[in-house]
Structure 1
Amino acid sequence: MSVTTTAAQEARAAGQAAGFPDGAAGPEDGPGLTDGFLAQVQARPHAVALVFNGEQWSYRELYERAVQECARLDGLGLAPAEPVGVLADKSPGAVALVLACLLARRPVLLPSPALAEGLLADLFAQAGCRHVLAPGGERGRVEPSVAVAAQPLPVEEALEVALMLTTSGSTSLPKIVPLGRGAVDRFVRWAGAAFGIGPDRTVLNYAPLNFDLCLLDVWTTLARGGRVVVVDPSLAAHGRHLLDLVVRHEVQVIQAVPMALGLLREAAEHQGVVLPGVKQVMFSGDAIPDRLLAALPELFPKARLHNVYGCTETNDSFVHEVDPADPVGPVPIGRPLPGVRAVVLDPDTGAPVEGPGEGELYVCTPFQSLGYLDRTRHAEKFTAHPLGLDESRWFRTGDLVRRDAEGTLHLTGRTDFQVKVRGTAVNTAEVERVLQEHPDVVEAGVAAVPDPIAGRRLVAGVQRAAGSSVTGLQLRTHCARRLPRAAVPAQLTVIDAALPKTATGKVDRKALDRLPSLFTTSTEGTAS
């Protein structure tokens, strides 16, 4: 497409090229995101694309709203490949706005609306966004900062960028991760085929629109002609609402973080129902508690269960299908997806681990970013092949893994979770796992904070189950029976509410040592 044509003209031209209204053949290797979506608009314009709070949007309606947003982009006086920011809670209008940017080949920065306004302003400025938009003609509530210098991509590179996502961040500026169109399209082709997503599939979208999980449950579904049931962010913590959506709309595919599956399980148990209509369940983003994992086969008696591993920088990299007959325990991250390469290095010697063994994981995927927008923040994360064996860009995950005799990978921790407490090596992820084994624990987080005597001390936060009276002292005793003395948290705060979260929905470990002041009704167990 010519960069001199208007965004609306480009969107309509893209529609015509995909067969709307006069038809054209798709790529031999299958359509990607925009080509696939536009093909659905042409072939099945009246099919339902989105369901949101009881309202249905057809493929034609979603396309027409996207074209309206393209016309809005035309009026902004944007330079070729100049990015725009989108700041909006998840909604059909927000989906249409992002689609408009994709159709117009306009890079779009999509951060979490939950981030602090100062961080958002700095992110938009760093990406070179002069305009921050919300759906329906509204401007975003945050303007780019004037104090942060822009670090835009070269025009030739920016033209190939589809989405700019961000890493998690609570108090520091998240990293901006540009994802190329080719990477996104390759992922759409893989995910659609791998999980049977097509015109006969209804997919539940739980994750916020800025999560990379949406590449599967929103963008792959729209590219393959499925129906996306969008969870209203304001109702995402209500298990009964989630259950109602799954039952009422006959959802067949669910991808969600373990917390969402836990909410769904609790609601289903309360109502005495199971969900035989669900055919595929994928959990990702965090470790799944053993008790929840054990309950999934009964909740979804006809579903295939998958643990999907990846990160924002690489997208999904490994998948493991859970066999309900296997003993309950930490779920493997599995084996590489097609086209994914993995290297495990001994963290002490740097030598490759061949066959069974443990080490740090490096990956190279067909779906990954080429690097952070701010190249100074690579910090050896994006590297050459760790052994110099090819010219590809690799990603150092920071994850510690164990490869078993069958070649399956198991996540054992992270390099940044390895700390020394009184001279003893402690893995905080292992402490979290032990806490989550307690039957009265819903979720747990552990962090190491500076200590003038011990060098580091462990602080933990726990959300206890409804109706439970378990105390911090009891949980420290539970840990002491299973962990070395140095790994027992010195401070353990028990609360009845959910633990504080980062903008990406994970436990905010930086806030754990402040829990006693944040929750005055909490119960603490503190080392003497």
Structure 2
Amino acid sequence: MALPLAERIATAARRHPESTALFWQGRAVSYRDLLAMARAAEKNMAALRIPDGTPVAVVAAKSPETIAVMLACMRAARPVLVPSADVADKPLRKLLADTGALVLPDPCALTAGTAGPAVAGRPAEGRVPDGTALILTTSGSTGFPKAVPLPAAAIGAFAEWAAATFGIRADTSVLSYAPLNFDLSLLDVWTTLAHGGRVALVEQDRAAHPGHLLALLRQCPVHVVHGVPMLYQLLAAAEKHASGDEFAPVGEVLVTGDALSPGGLAALSGLFPRARMHNVYGCTETNHTFVHEMDPAGDVGRYGAVPIGRPAEGVGADILAEDGSVLAGPGRGELIVTSPFQTSGYLDPVHHAKAFVGHPDGTTPGPYYRTGDLVTRHPDGVLTLDGRSDFMVTVRGTRINTAAVEGALRSHPEVADAVVVALPDERTGRRLHAVVHRAAGSLLNSLRLREHVAAELPRAGIPSGIQFVDAPLPRTATGKIDRRTVANSL
């Protein structure tokens, strides 16, 4: 059995105490320093007299101090809730009520020994399952974020799989772009530290600045890059100002969290000419479960989209047809997944029962997570992602997947990004409205764009309204389009 994550990190610190664990704001934080901060945080949390087993919440941006406090919680076997650093008051209160977590003082104060008292009160009892290490949160892009408790054993199993699959060792540097509440951090931060590697931390308030990313790569060359498609758009912008071979050390590129366009796939080859490129699929609830080594020259022509590939070792996956039966061969339906890396389930029994189900055959071990993602299984067994079941709408009697409409819009060379929402309509019931971010300097108009998408979409799928914007679309902290903000602005 693998050692718990905290013990793995402590072992790395003993073996290579002066090796860099974290690179942050131009300075290296050694494993010795990281462990010292974690021990100081442990001591100061003990002085707060928080009852054993009570979950705590770290509401702070990514930093060495924040990571040290989370490590201290793991060492003490105390579940730690990690909401978005800029979470609003109402969703934070709900997360605290759902988990019974107490908000810890600022990580800088905890690691320096100047912390005051924790927030008093405990709204709920016994909600977090035994063995929970981290409580991550969903993006909340379509509603309130959900708490996702992850068992220590699941995180440990994932760290072993990810390190072996993507070559993360003691001499490996990994770029940490995602915030700590996003499941990507399980690879970027925790898998890397568990194997003695170096984590190059992107500052969250500068994450959208290509210049910051380029400066970080110059100061701390990285071997593994892992992020949502937006990260690679920013790196492509940064590469135009590169003065040398800042991107040359990268040997593994992982794209996840959102669909990768054919244009985005083509751009990766030029950006990282020496790297293996992977499309990685997963949810916060299951972590990474599918991997596909991308072929920029052949994937789109062969499958019509960038595949999500095949299940990782130990992952079970099936496709449900519309009647709830399991699809045996090629075809299309909703993906259900069970994984050794997955959550123990939602804390709300109603949400849990809807999302975590037994296998339809009644005998295959589970539980299975209903992803809500629609996929196509091709004759060779490879899967491609078609969109989400909750993005399916009926327009003039025709079932339309708004994700497919977005993909058609993004395929125009003058479209930088696009989002489609279904609005109520007195005559047709629903109508599609697109908000399109044009490429810089483009004079693209709605007539030309409708003509472009008409070749790919049924008539009902062509947006009746197209609004052009010259600024990037709003996004959540995890880099996904903030659909709720877009819908509220219309």
TM class by shorter chain equals over 0.9
Does 2:365 align with 1:394?
no
User: In the alignment, which residue of structure 2 is the partner of 1:50?
Assistant: 22
Residue type of the partner of 2:417?
A: E
Q: Distance in 2 between matches of 1:131 and 1:248?
A: 34
Normalised to the residue count of structure 1, the TM-score between the two structures is: 0.87
User: In the alignment, which residue of structure 2 is the partner of 1:150?
Assistant: 124
Does 2:155 align with 1:181?
no
Does 2:56 align with 1:84?
yes
More RCO (CA 8 Å, sep 6+): 2
User: In the alignment, which residue of structure 1 is the partner of 2:289?
Assistant: 317
Q: Distance in 2 between matches of 1:164 and 1:306?
A: 27
SS at match of 2:108: coil
1:221-259: per-residue Cα shift (whole Å, max 9, x none)?
000000000001121111132123223322111001110
Contact 1:240 1:264 (8 Å CA) reproduced: no
1:491: how far off?
A: 2.1
Contact 2:143 2:484 (8 Å CA) reproduced: no
SS at match of 2:192: helix
SS at match of 2:183: coil
1:472: how far off?
A: 3.6
Does 2:172 align with 1:197?
no
Match 2:394 to one of 406, 411, 420: 420
Q: How many residues align?
A: 483
Does 2:312 align with 1:340?
no
1:339-397: per-residue Cα shift (whole Å, max 9, x none)?
001111211x2221112121211111000012101222225211112221234211111
1:97: how far off?
A: 0.9
Q: Distance in 1 between matches of 2:224 and 2:60?
A: 25
User: In the alignment, which residue of structure 1 is the partner of 2:69?
Assistant: 97
1:450-488: per-residue Cα shift (whole Å, max 9, x none)?
222221111221211122222344323322343222111
Residue type of the partner of 1:299?
A: L
1:145-204: per-residue Cα shift (whole Å, max 9, x none)?
98x9525436xx33x000001112157322111000000000000001111101111110
Farther off after superposition, 269-278 or 206-215: 269-278
User: In the alignment, which residue of structure 2 is the partner of 1:300?
Assistant: 272
User: In the alignment, which residue of structure 2 is the partner of 1:247?
Assistant: 218
1:72: how far off?
A: 1.6
Match 1:366 to one of 340, 355, 363: 340
SS at match of 1:458: strand
SS at match of 1:296: helix
Structure 1 residues 247 and 128, CA, compared in 2 at 3 Å: closer, same or farther?
same
Q: Distance in 1 between matches of 2:125 and 2:431?
A: 39
Structure 1 residues 327 and 174, CA, compared in 2 at 3 Å: closer, same or farther?
closer
Q: Distance in 2 between matches of 1:116 and 1:451?
A: 32
Gaps of 5+ in 1: 1-28, 517-528
1:330: how far off?
A: 1.8
Once the two structures are superposed, the pairs formed by residues 21-32 of structure 1 within 5 Å of their partners are 29-32=1-4
Contact 1:460 1:493 (8 Å CA) reproduced: yes
Contact 2:59 2:103 (8 Å CA) reproduced: no
User: In the alignment, which residue of structure 2 is the partner of 1:4?
Assistant: none
User: In the alignment, which residue of structure 2 is the partner of 1:350?
Assistant: 324
Farther off after superposition, 103-112 or 353-362: 353-362
Residue type of the partner of 1:320?
A: H
Q: Distance in 2 between matches of 1:283 and 1:263?
A: 13
User: In the alignment, which residue of structure 1 is the partner of 2:306?
Assistant: 331
Q: Distance in 2 between matches of 1:93 and 1:469?
A: 47
User: In the alignment, which residue of structure 2 is the partner of 1:519?
Assistant: none
User: In the alignment, which residue of structure 1 is the partner of 2:465?
Assistant: 491
User: In the alignment, which residue of structure 1 is the partner of 2:414?
Assistant: 440
Q: Distance in 1 between matches of 2:144 and 2:489?
A: 23
Contact 1:460 1:512 (8 Å CA) reproduced: no
Residue type of the partner of 2:388?
A: R
1:512: how far off?
A: 2.6
SS at match of 1:136: helix
1:197-225: per-residue Cα shift (whole Å, max 9, x none)?
01111110000111100000100000000
Once the two structures are superposed, the pairs formed by residues 201-212 of structure 1 within 5 Å of their partners are 201-212=172-183
Q: Distance in 2 between matches of 1:367 and 1:289?
A: 27
1:513: how far off?
A: 3.8
Residue type of the partner of 1:136?
A: C
Q: Distance in 2 between matches of 1:326 and 1:60?
A: 47
Match 1:289 to one of 261, 279, 285: 261
1:502: how far off?
A: 2.8
Match 1:409 to one of 363, 383, 400: 383
Match 2:186 to one of 215, 218, 224: 215
* Cα root mean square deviation, aligned: 2.2
Q: Distance in 2 between matches of 1:509 and 1:453?
A: 24
Match 2:7 to one of 17, 24, 35: 35
Match 1:450 to one of 424, 444, 447: 424
1:270: how far off?
A: 4.5
Does 2:489 align with 1:510?
no
SS at match of 2:136: strand
User: In the alignment, which residue of structure 2 is the partner of 1:21?
Assistant: none
SS at match of 1:263: helix
Q: Distance in 2 between matches of 1:386 and 1:449?
A: 35
Q: Distance in 2 between matches of 1:424 and 1:272?
A: 52
User: In the alignment, which residue of structure 1 is the partner of 2:434?
Assistant: 460
Q: Distance in 2 between matches of 1:402 and 1:145?
A: 50
1:406: how far off?
A: 1.5
Contact 1:115 1:170 (8 Å CA) reproduced: no
Q: Distance in 2 between matches of 1:287 and 1:504?
A: 14
Normalised to the residue count of structure 2, the TM-score between the two structures is: 0.93
Residue type of the partner of 2:214?
A: L
User: In the alignment, which residue of structure 2 is the partner of 1:232?
Assistant: 203
Farther off after superposition, 295-304 or 29-38: 29-38
Contact 1:126 1:152 (8 Å CA) reproduced: no
Gaps of 5+ in 2: none
Contact 1:493 1:515 (8 Å CA) reproduced: no
Q: Distance in 1 between matches of 2:485 and 2:424?
A: 14
User: In the alignment, which residue of structure 2 is the partner of 1:382?
Assistant: 356
